[in-house]
Amino acid sequence: MKQYYTIAAAFVLAVTISCHNNQKPVDLTGKSNKEKGSKYEIGKITEQPLSSYVKLPGQLKPYDEVNIFAKVNGFVKEVLADRGTEVKKGQVLLRLEAPELESQMQAATSKYLQAQENATASKEKYKRLKEAATEEGAVAPLDLDMAASRMKADEAVVMSEQSNVTSMKNIINYLTIMAPFDGVIVQRNISTGGLVGPGGKAELPMLVLQHLQKLRLEVFIPEAYVDKVDLKRTVSFVFNSTPGKENTAHISRSANALTSMRSEAVEIDVMNKNQELKPGMYAEVKIPLLSGAKSMLVPGHAVVRSTERQFIIKVVDGKAHLVDVKEGLKTNDLTEIFGDVQKDDEIVLHATDEISEGTLVK
């Protein structure tokens, strides 16, 4: 009995000491006071610069490229360039032969010479009649007029036949194919004796010529960054084939239009005098952004990702409102988003697709 009173007295003493020290009961649930007001953790969208540049893939393309076809039907007589051959503008690449064109050229030349003879005879006849007409009654006026008309008609025939000869010469010149610019032959699809003609959709070009001393680095800028690109600053890029070697240049041109993939193509001219770089190579390109460009940022776990959509859950009047967004740049703990969102909008952190539209969250 004495032991019982001792325990009771100790308990009363402990309570009394606790009250005098103004101590509060310990919360064993592990939740903060902020979390007690809602079963969901609520945060806000922030707006701040995420990065001064955006990394995008780029691909090298030849500065100029042309598929070389024959303009007229003919047989390959001589091939003067092969794959890998460096050529200069105006250099002969191929010679064709077409016997029927040579025959047509001879026929056109013969008609032209005959027309010249007829025009010369008509001119002499008109000249003699005009001299004879100086004597009254020697030549009828009608005969003089007919001679003048015949002379003009024969001169017109000469001009027509001369045009035919010029046209045939141009066609004959098509049998000699020359390089339209300096470059390298990268593909050859013909051999001597082969029949060639004007290119169709299903036909391969005889040769493919590319200008490789200067290349285009093509980069596609996503729609979300199109208006944020700083065109005045230099662009840095590293090719996968030469890691660690950083190159710099300026954006040379932009398409000023979006593709079907909702992106704008920009090009960077890259000098390649030693031809160390090849078309088709990939590079990682750092596109500079405007210093004042700010992004809407949320924690990465606030974005719900499913096979059908990506969305965040905004809190509107204490209820859940699902907003579709697109993701941009990412850091260790923040994600850039694009969509119908504003700075300081309240959102559900650690959101899941189990929260449906209109759910009470606050």
CA distance 248 to 251: 10
Quickly list DSSP for 104-122: HHHHHHHHHHHHHHHHHHH
Average pLDDT, the chain: 84
Which of 338, 296, 278, 285 has the alpha carbon at shortest distance from 47?
Answer: 296
Q: For the domain 54-62+211-288, what is the CATH code?
A: 2.40.30.170
What is the distance between the alpha carbons of residues 112 and 167, in angstroms, rounded to a whole number? 12
User: What is the fold, at CATH topology level, of the domain defined by 99-173?
Assistant: Helix Hairpins (1.10.287)
- pLDDT per position as a tens digit, 221-242: 988 888 888 888 899 999 988 8
Which tokens hold the place of 233? 């600053």
- Domain range annotation of the chain: 31-49+294-362, 54-62+211-288, 99-173
* DSSP state, residue 360: B
- Common-topology check for domains 31-49+294-362 and 99-173: no
Per the DSSP assignment, residues forming a β-bridge with 64 are 211
Q: Spelled out in words, what is the top-level CATH class assigned to the domain 31-49+294-362?
A: mainly beta
CB burial class (10 A; 0-12, 13-18, 19+) of residue 210? Answer: buried
Rounded to an integer, what distance in angstroms lies between the CA atom of residue 307 and that of residue 350?
18
pLDDT at 89 (0 to 100): 95
Q: Quick one: which of 81, 29, 41, 26 has its CA closest to 315?
A: 41
pLDDT at 248: 92
Task: Identify the pLDDT of residue 202.
Answer: 63
pLDDT number for residue 57: 94
Low-confidence ranges of the chain (pLDDT < 50): 1-36
Please indicate, yes or no, whether the overall pTM of this predicted structure exceeds 0.85. no
Amino acid letter, 89 = K
Q: Per residue in 269-280, is it b (16+ CB within 10 Å) or e — as a string?
A: ebebeeeebebe
pLDDT of residue 111: 93
